[in-house]
């Protein structure tokens, strides 16, 4: 059993060839690629690096210490998926991917990470002293998270990584390390573990975490003509426009640049989204909070 694997160790350079330096550590020989160091070494010099076994079962050492190592968490990028084993992560080591067992992944294969997704993991050893990736848990995410603020974060767009997909909703961590939750009602489909999402802040919870939505804002979910009317209402001092079902078609065309048919469809679109109210020959912008926008 090689207890140096996955650890940072210091050894002595005992040999070299055109491609590698060879370092002795506890009676074992590790290869350091000559493409890696920025300096040349001489025989007998000491070298400190991270020890690992590559996919060809060769012992390697690197001065480029990975973020992910026993006791330390870092982000790994999914480069392979095997449904009978788990997923494989690129953690920055040459010819070495870190496996995360299927036992740590969601029971539903549709929620497993896909190539390009990312996971926050550490290294751990199994009973045979083999290295595996171990997913961060809620305690780790809470420890590294930053508090959210309604004043700063409300209605902001955020990039978030799925850290726990569940039936009642999805837990995420934003690029700014804020924890967030996406209720099922704010999802169009269940995201994968490790998937990166473009989300919108629709609230800040009492525990200083974000309440997020993947649904578009109201104006992003309506037609161009409806968006134009909505913008005109927002810019109006009274939030009203003097047009209605009985307005003259030529007046609508001259002032709004659309036909009366287009106008009626746009009004219907805004009514369906509960963004406006109508009175005879008058459109009125409906006041609403952000939680209602785009909920239908």
Residue that the structure tokens 């070494």 belong to: 41
Q: Is 3 contained in some domain?
A: no
Residue 14 has a pLDDT of 97
pLDDT, tens digit, for every residue of 26-70? 999 999 999 987 788 999 999 999 999 999 999 999 999 999 999
% the chain with pLDDT above 70: 95
Is pLDDT at 183 greater than 80 in this prediction? yes
- What CATH number is given to the structural domain containing 13? 2.40.50.330
Residue 290 has a pLDDT of 44
Is pLDDT at 279 greater than 90 in this prediction? no
Q: Is 291 contained in some domain?
A: no
Across 14-24, average pLDDT: 97
- Residues 36 and 52 both lie in one domain: yes
Model's pTM, two decimal places? 0.74
- What CATH number is given to the structural domain containing 238? 1.10.10.10
Final residue in a domain of this structure, among 213, 242, 257: 213
Which domain, by its residues, includes 132? 74-136
- Residues 118 and 152 both lie in one domain: no
Domain count of the fold of the chain:
4
> First vs last Cα of the chain: how many Å apart?
60
Q: What is the DSSP string of the chain?
A: --TTTTSEEEEEEEEE-SSEEEEEETTEEEEEETTS-SS---TT-EEEEEEEE-TTS-EEEESS--S-BTTB-EEEEEEEEETTTEEEEE-S-TT-EEEEEGGGS-SSGGGS--TT-EEEEEEEE-TT--EEEEE--HHHHHHH-----HHHHTT-EEEEEEEEEETTEEEEEETTS-EEEEEGGG-SSPPPTT-EEEEEEEEE-TTS-EEEE-SPPGGGSS-HHHHHHHHHHHHSTTSEES--TTS-HHHHHHHHSS-HHHHHHHHHHHHHTT-EEEETTEEEEPP--TTTTT--
- Residues 226 and 255 both lie in one domain: yes
Q: Is 153 contained in some domain?
A: yes
Residue 282 has a pLDDT of 92
Final residue in a domain of this structure, among 166, 183, 213: 213
Is pLDDT at 295 greater than 70 in this prediction? no
Final residue in a domain of this structure, among 213, 239, 266: 213
Query: In this predicted model, which residue has the larger pLDDT, 90 or 228?
Result: 90
Residue 291 has a pLDDT of 43
- Residues 154 and 196 both lie in one domain: yes
Q: Is 26 contained in some domain?
A: yes
- Residues 190 and 228 both lie in one domain: no
Is pLDDT at 221 greater than 70 in this prediction? no
Residue 59 has a pLDDT of 97
């Amino acid at each position: 059993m090689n207890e140096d694997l996955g650890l940072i160790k210091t050894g002595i350079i005992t040999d070299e060839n055109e491609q590698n330096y060879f370092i002795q550590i506890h009676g074992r020989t590790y290869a350091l690629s000559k493409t890696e160091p920025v300096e040349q070494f001489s025989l007998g010099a000491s070298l400190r690096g991270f020890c690992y076994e590559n996919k060809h079962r060769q012992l390697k050492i690197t001065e480029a210490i990975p973020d992910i190592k026993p006791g330390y968490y870092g982000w790994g990028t999914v480069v392979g998926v095997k449904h009978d084993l788990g997923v494989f992560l690129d953690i920055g080591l040459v010819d070495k991917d870190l496996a995360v067992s299927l036992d740590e992944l969601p029971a539903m294969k549709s929620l497993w990470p896909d190539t390009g997704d990312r996971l926050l993991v550490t290294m751990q050893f199994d009973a045979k002293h083999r290295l595996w990736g171990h997913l961060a848990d809620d305690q780790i995410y809470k420890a590294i998270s930053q508090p959210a603020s309604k004043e700063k974060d409300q209605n902001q767009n955020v990039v978030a990584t799925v850290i726990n997909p569940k039936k009642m909703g999805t837990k995420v961590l934003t690029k700014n390390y804020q924890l967030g939750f996406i209720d099922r009602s704010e999802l169009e489909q269940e995201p994968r573990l490790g998937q990166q999402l473009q989300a919108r802040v629709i609230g800040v919870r009492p525990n200083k975490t974000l309440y997020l939505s993947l649904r578009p804002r109201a104006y992003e979910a309506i037609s161009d003509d409806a968006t134009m009317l909505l913008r005109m209402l927002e810019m109006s001092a009274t939030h009203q426009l003097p047009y209605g079902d009985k307005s003259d078609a030529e007046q609508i065309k001259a002032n709004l640049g659309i036909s009366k048919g287009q106008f009626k469809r746009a009004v219907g679109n805004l009514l369906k989204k509960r963004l406006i109210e109508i009175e005879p020959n008058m459109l009125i912008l409906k006041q609403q909070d952000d939680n209602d926008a785009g909920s239908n």
